[in-house]
Structure 1
């Protein structure tokens, strides 16, 4: 095994083992203390879960549910060891997390010898302040999650499952993992101000990058909210708005830290705040008065009227309803909190203004004296045109070559682009023709293209022959490039079908399908009301709806993709004929799909499920099928029959377009890999289910090959009306 590793990898592994051994030796005399901390974390969390936390999490889950919904909600243990093992697992993780900082502290001598421990002593108050701020942000994230987000989200998820005809019967393992994962995500997301400030202060990521790319951050946060939260707009707003506010606060804090560093001893934060103490106090008083006026002069009632007008059932609560105090005391608490928040905002504003003013603008020198070799790619592009006015071709080429040697391809490209711009300006002014820089750009561009080649070059040795992987890559790139101009239409169709299907399922369509399907089963199966579909995971119903909607959208979009890709496929020799054939293809495939679906829905699915249910009823068992398993079973035994029917039909259609029998016979391995990939993505996370999908599809592919063999006389002709190539004939003769 060691011979498979290169020298650098072996050296890194040896250094890691040596460091781990040195840390253990350094902390050897204190390992008992580390173990005690681990044991305290393990036992403490184990019994805390047992005595307090399970009940607390149950209360959080049911906080916003109606009495009927809370009564339907059940949290179950699927095996006798679920609860005890879950508590032990959480206790183990908690103990390790608590023990790691202690272990690192006691092994600091070994880390210092290797330069992995801060060599410059850091003031304890700074460490304490940083730790306190980190803990405060983490707790704030947890408070928001448990007090606001979780209750609303669980209420929505449970109501959605019940409205679809399912019973929210959560597995304690899946339910707890889901809660703890979201807990960790909220706590870590709250660390964003510290992370951005640290990255900006150390200039690992400049502050200007965070500031200029804020649009990408907004899109990313909104997209994350759309993907990882229920599709309720109110819930997505509850996710996205706090994240955006947090990002804005992080930008502010990073700006303060960077400005203070660049201002370097020219201004003290507390001195800057002291100059405006009266204004900060005034802002705090105004903020507290506004909160008091909101509750005391009808603002709460107007806000609730607005929520009612918007059609939501949610309402703002009066003071004292969430705190164990009288309404008067609660109003005083909220007023004080509003004043403190407003004062903090005023403090941040005036400190920011003072720090901004403290940074003196840099003196502007002669732009022709800028050292271009010391700039990075962004600096080259931002440099004034005068810096390139006297730059010769030889100097530009030398700097670009040096940048290439330093593996700075972007800088090399930027130098040549700016040089070309300078040459164009000189040509426009009658000072030159600009032919030379073009040859220089071509020379260095050739180096850049070789240095920036794809990983496929390692497999193809730079060749793009049609018989190797480079040829496949070229074909795929050519076909995808032909779809670029139609990407918006394709994406629009995909999005419309996905949204429409999901909206139908989400608004009760999945429940209606369930009821309609039950009506197809025999009376002796449905009369006892033995079939019950449950959700073991809070997001299970939504995940199934998204997966099913995506599958339908893909099936609808594929003919459109084929229609627009047809000219490129024909040019690369994959198909022949006019692309209007696609319409006939779609008609044939739809007929095959619906014929197979009708057979499955009326015969196959009822027979299979009736047999399975009858066996369970005969054994006097409670039939509680999981959503994903039950509905995928319905899909595979109904629409799946139609898809299997379409496989031979599609193969015949491909043959009419010029795809030979030999090609489909020789490419069975690629087809198998593609089907396995499709099954891994589109089916539940179960290996057995994946193979239950793959094997029937490959059998259908084999049937299609048999039909093609008979129709094409063993590959000697095809349905497109043209004779096979000499290569195909020779191969068939050999066979």
Structure 2
């Protein structure tokens, strides 16, 4: 088997050959770049749109492409041209360095050239088959599916040209690679170039590299990256299975070599303690030291979280069932009714002539699908919260996280009031505030001579954020009042946790909103400020209860503790 150092030195030889023949390499790169750009401008862009959107057009879906940046098309063509130029340069550089590679023993011997040529032809053929399958079958089907669900929700498919072309080309390459990667893995193992253990042990590195590539070559939405990453990872593990089937004799040789090396290492080591034993002793010492530190530190929050997690794990099937049912129902409702109903309600208070000029569009291929998945998962997570509290109630009471006086009916009635206030605030925002805001913004846009066109992701995010924001602000004073008056939580605890609340709000705002710092600040700042206002209101309304709790704790010698 050729050692790894030989390949590294061979790579340096290829770079040296490229440097010595710089003119040839540059000419090859420019030929690949210029020819690709001209081919894209004169033929390929139009052909790709015609072929991939034909099935959607046949079903009556009006799918168009657009550009939102003046240099978007030029930069897209340049990017594809650079990639093509690099692909042309690589075989040229390898050919120029063939002499050095032969001397280092990393070139194929003459006797194996026919077999290598056949293998390369097979790889190229399988790659072409994968690309053709993706281009002719899969991508048109995906585009029809994406267009159908968008049009059904009243969203106009208006894909960015860069995202559209990137998706078509990248997905075609993914299918091409997926078609021939198992063959490549079997060939390299059977020829002794790479061992099976190398492929098996480096799967994490492959996943990481594939994730980086998918992030670099696709649009920034996670759904597109998952669509690219998924086939690569799946075909890698399929290749591992193919190696075990078609190169089993090589696996037997590797196992025998590993056994011999282990026996020799044991003989050399003799009766001395192994490195693993020594490391284990050191780890035990470190653990003892850390345990001493933990004994000093207050680990109450960690203990409570661990106990709650244990309760959740013991009821994981029930919680998972609730999550899946709610998420599935939410997904179906949003796809077929929800988004369209939200859009209609938002423009319901506009004059007809203004409402006809307001539309929502989908710029990214999977923007609408990812939006629905995001809010379906959020609905499922919110639905599980009451069940988590119910199943963990004994733990929370025993750990003094919740307490207080009153019957279960007392707490249920207070919770119902808080939820009712939240729903009232959310309804006021959804039916009153949001239509007015959208109407004012749209009218300002139209009067400026522009089209009031909103991306579906930003539009639904705006509706959701304002609705939840007003709902939380409506119930926050009442929630604090009931928590303190019922002696479930001390006023000092709520006061000391406002920084934690602010951090949580910013994190949640970053997760549920667009990746825009300004939007995140607009969401988080009002909630954080209103938290302080609610504290002031609660301090006035619950003055007697707060004083009584302080006196009781002072008599028990707990005045300085926060729990």
SS at match of 1:190: helix
- In the alignment, what sits opposite 1:499? 328
Gaps of 5+ in 2: 1-8, 204-221
How does 1:459-478 map onto structure 2 within 5 Å? 463-465=293-295, 467=297, 472-478=301-307
Deviation at 1:538, TM superposition (A): 2.1
Q: Is the 8 A contact 1:199 1:205 kept in 2?
A: no
The verdict on how the C-alpha distance between 1:540 and 1:209 changes in structure 2, with shifts beyond 3 A counting, is closer
Q: Is the 8 A contact 2:196 2:243 kept in 1?
A: no
Distance in 2 (CA, whole Å) between partners of 1:532 and 1:725 is 65
Q: Is the 8 A contact 1:175 1:537 kept in 2?
A: yes
Q: Is the 8 A contact 1:502 1:549 kept in 2?
A: yes
Distance in 2 (CA, whole Å) between partners of 1:141 and 1:590 is 54
Deviation at 1:176, TM superposition (A): 2.0
Question: Looking at both structures, which has the greater relative contact order when contacts are Cα pairs under 8 Å and sequence separation is at least 6?
Answer: 2
Q: Is the 8 A contact 1:404 1:448 kept in 2?
A: no
Q: Which of 543, 553, 556 is the matching residue for 2:370?
A: 543
Q: Which of 179, 188, 195 is the matching residue for 1:202?
A: 195
The verdict on how the C-alpha distance between 1:101 and 1:372 changes in structure 2, with shifts beyond 3 A counting, is closer
Q: Which of 68, 78, 89 is the matching residue for 2:68?
A: 78
1:511 aligns with 2:511: no
Deviation at 1:32, TM superposition (A): 2.2
Q: Which of 281, 284, 297 is the matching residue for 1:450?
A: 284
Deviation at 1:707, TM superposition (A): 2.8
Superposed CA deviations along residues 346-394 of structure 1, whole A, max 9, x for unmatched, are: xxxxxxxxxxxxxxxx9xxxxxxx9997499xxxxxxxxxxxxxxxxxx
- In the alignment, what sits opposite 1:523? 351
Distance in 2 (CA, whole Å) between partners of 1:727 and 1:31 is 82
- In the alignment, what sits opposite 1:693? 523
1:612 aligns with 2:484: no
The verdict on how the C-alpha distance between 1:465 and 1:41 changes in structure 2, with shifts beyond 3 A counting, is farther
SS at match of 2:532: helix
Q: Is the 8 A contact 2:189 2:195 kept in 1?
A: yes
1:35 aligns with 2:26: yes
Distance in 1 (CA, whole Å) between partners of 2:72 and 2:78 is 10
- In the alignment, what sits opposite 1:632? 461
The verdict on how the C-alpha distance between 1:168 and 1:481 changes in structure 2, with shifts beyond 3 A counting, is same
**What's the TM-score once normalised by structure 2's chain length?**
0.77
Q: Is the 8 A contact 1:145 1:183 kept in 2?
A: yes
Deviation at 1:27, TM superposition (A): 4.0
Q: Which shows bigger deviation, 41-50 or 638-647?
A: 638-647
Gaps of 5+ in 1: 1-17, 211-226, 230-234, 265-361, 363-369, 377-397, 410-446
The verdict on how the C-alpha distance between 1:665 and 1:59 changes in structure 2, with shifts beyond 3 A counting, is same
- In the alignment, what sits opposite 2:209? none
How does 1:347-366 map onto structure 2 within 5 Å? none
Deviation at 1:51, TM superposition (A): 1.6
Q: Is the 8 A contact 2:347 2:438 kept in 1?
A: no
Greater percentage in helix: 2
The verdict on how the C-alpha distance between 1:727 and 1:533 changes in structure 2, with shifts beyond 3 A counting, is farther
How does 1:402-441 map onto structure 2 within 5 Å? 402=274, 404-405=276-277
SS at match of 1:685: coil
Q: Is the 8 A contact 1:171 1:536 kept in 2?
A: yes
**What's the TM-score once normalised by structure 1's chain length?**
0.61
- In the alignment, what sits opposite 2:431? 602
How does 1:271-282 map onto structure 2 within 5 Å? none
- In the alignment, what sits opposite 1:552? 379
Q: Is the 8 A contact 1:192 1:250 kept in 2?
A: no
Superposed CA deviations along residues 484-523 of structure 1, whole A, max 9, x for unmatched, are: 111111111111111001111112332123223322x133
How does 1:383-398 map onto structure 2 within 5 Å? none
Q: Is the 8 A contact 2:346 2:438 kept in 1?
A: no
The verdict on how the C-alpha distance between 1:50 and 1:575 changes in structure 2, with shifts beyond 3 A counting, is same
Q: Is the 8 A contact 2:185 2:239 kept in 1?
A: no
Q: Which of 22, 25, 48 is the matching residue for 2:39?
A: 48
Deviation at 1:685, TM superposition (A): 2.5
The verdict on how the C-alpha distance between 1:181 and 1:686 changes in structure 2, with shifts beyond 3 A counting, is farther
Superposed CA deviations along residues 526-552 of structure 1, whole A, max 9, x for unmatched, are: 4x5111111111211111111121222
SS at match of 1:678: helix
SS at match of 2:339: helix
Distance in 1 (CA, whole Å) between partners of 2:413 and 2:105 is 71
- In the alignment, what sits opposite 1:670? 500
SS at match of 1:69: coil
Q: Is the 8 A contact 2:244 2:251 kept in 1?
A: no
Distance in 2 (CA, whole Å) between partners of 1:592 and 1:98 is 65
The verdict on how the C-alpha distance between 1:206 and 1:77 changes in structure 2, with shifts beyond 3 A counting, is closer
Distance in 2 (CA, whole Å) between partners of 1:128 and 1:604 is 69
Deviation at 1:611, TM superposition (A): 0.8
Distance in 2 (CA, whole Å) between partners of 1:209 and 1:611 is 56
Superposed CA deviations along residues 225-263 of structure 1, whole A, max 9, x for unmatched, are: xx969xxxxx9xxx99x9989976863454222236759
Superposed CA deviations along residues 297-318 of structure 1, whole A, max 9, x for unmatched, are: xxxxxxxxxxxxxxxxxxxxxx
Q: Is the 8 A contact 1:657 1:720 kept in 2?
A: no
- In the alignment, what sits opposite 1:576? 403
Distance in 1 (CA, whole Å) between partners of 2:113 and 2:302 is 58
Deviation at 1:663, TM superposition (A): 2.7
Q: Is the 8 A contact 2:509 2:520 kept in 1?
A: yes
Distance in 1 (CA, whole Å) between partners of 2:271 and 2:543 is 66
Deviation at 1:67, TM superposition (A): 3.9
Superposed CA deviations along residues 453-496 of structure 1, whole A, max 9, x for unmatched, are: 7xxx99x676324746x664444323212221111111111111
How does 1:248-287 map onto structure 2 within 5 Å? 251-252=241-242, 254-259=244-249, 262=252
Distance in 2 (CA, whole Å) between partners of 1:106 and 1:586 is 76
Q: Is the 8 A contact 1:658 1:718 kept in 2?
A: no
1:99 aligns with 2:78: no
Q: Is the 8 A contact 1:34 1:102 kept in 2?
A: yes
The verdict on how the C-alpha distance between 1:684 and 1:615 changes in structure 2, with shifts beyond 3 A counting, is same
- In the alignment, what sits opposite 1:328? none
SS at match of 2:139: helix
Q: Which of 611, 622, 631 is the matching residue for 2:451?
A: 622
Q: Is the 8 A contact 1:49 1:87 kept in 2?
A: yes
SS at match of 1:538: coil
Q: Is the 8 A contact 2:200 2:240 kept in 1?
A: no
Distance in 1 (CA, whole Å) between partners of 2:411 and 2:31 is 68
Q: Which shows bigger deviation, 245-254 or 620-629?
A: 245-254
Q: Which shows bigger deviation, 498-507 or 119-128?
A: 119-128
